[in-house]
A = this chain, B = another copy of it.
Amino acid sequence: MIILLSKKMGFCLGVKKSIELANKTIKNKNTMIYMYGPIIHNPRIIKDYQKKGVKIINDFSKIPDGSTVITRAHGISPARCMEAKNRKINLIDTTCPNVKKLQKIATYLYEKQYFIIIYGDKNHPEISSVMEMVNHHALIVNQTAEIIDINQKKKIGIISQTTKNMHDFKKMASFLVDKTKELRIFNTICPATMERQESVYDLSKNVDVMVIIGGKNSANTSRLAEICKNQGVKTYHVEEKNQLKRDWFSKNDRVGIGSGASTPDYLTKEIIQQLKEWYL
């Protein structure tokens, strides 16, 4: 077996910073620390935080005034920030800088009265926070075919969830050019996402099997698996080594390994170790 690693993989700068800030907060506090939803979409990381006594919450109603709450890297809505302020909650904002940029651009387009199209997942927390910022005046789509009822829009602004697929974003842009007088496209797909997508795309051309490591709930990781599958390569998306199955592989396989921006390196190392034990 030959194991080949994707050129770009694992934590991006934004996730690294979020995790660092969360760890520092936990280290310096003796009181209970809350986390407003999972800081990143990786079950193992969250389990580890819970073991350290961090409590994951979905709203602020049941925690005492003045509590310390770590927000998620995917952003937090202005309404929640206001609620926290009123309750004197100490928010540790770990929002990724790229998500902040996206929020800022969305607000700008809203103020300038563009018809806003967001390429993203309706239920993703990143998109929920953006939607609150534009007062829910935006069309969220996951593919070009969902762009309907846009006749007579003089100016359209299109933005993307930071972890979406560049190929499809380009297709949407092209589709929209003759549907409006002005089309303003902000490339809000984060560079780390693009790099990871390009890397697994290249790697998947040269292997028999691809293993993509990361949370099943992680948008950016799921996209990597999707890209490999679309290339026609046998692809497995796993979160941890115990999900790996020996009979997925055979002795002479070339195996490609990729991981998402929210996947800690130790999970990848464990999986490589397992493959080596079986086949090398």
Please determine whether B187 and A182 come into contact, CB atoms closer than 8 angstroms: yes
The oligomer's copy count stands at 2
Query: Please, which residues of chain B bring their CB within 8 A of the CB of A194?
Result: 178
Please determine whether B183 and A178 come into contact, CB atoms closer than 8 angstroms: no
CA distance A171 to B181 in the complex (A): 17
CA distance A185 to B180 in the complex (A): 10
Interface range, A side: 10 to 19
Question: Does A177 lie at the interface of the complex (its beta carbon under 8 Å from any beta carbon of B)?
Answer: yes
Query: Please, which residues of chain B bring their CB within 8 A of the CB of A171?
Result: 174
Please determine whether A174 and B183 come into contact, CB atoms closer than 8 angstroms: no
CA distance A182 to B171 in the complex (A): 16
Question: Does A173 lie at the interface of the complex (its beta carbon under 8 Å from any beta carbon of B)?
Answer: yes
Please determine whether A173 and B177 come into contact, CB atoms closer than 8 angstroms: yes
Scan A167-194; emit 1 where CB is below 8 A from any B CB, else 0.
0011101110110111111110100001
Query: Please, which residues of chain B bring their CB within 8 A of the CB of A175?
Result: 170
Question: Does A166 lie at the interface of the complex (its beta carbon under 8 Å from any beta carbon of B)?
Answer: yes
Please determine whether B185 and A182 come into contact, CB atoms closer than 8 angstroms: yes
Residue of B nearest to A156 (CB): B185
From B177, B181, B186, B189, give the contact of A169 (CB < 8 A). B177
Please determine whether A181 and B187 come into contact, CB atoms closer than 8 angstroms: yes
CA distance A180 to B173 in the complex (A): 14
Query: Please, which residues of chain B bring their CB within 8 A of the CB of A183?
Result: 173, 184-185, 187
A114 to chain B: closest CB distance in Å? 11
Q: Give the 10 A-B residue pairs with the shortest CB-CB distance, closest first.
A: A174-B174, A183-B185, A170-B174, A170-B177, A173-B177, A184-B184, A166-B178, A182-B186, A173-B173, A173-B174
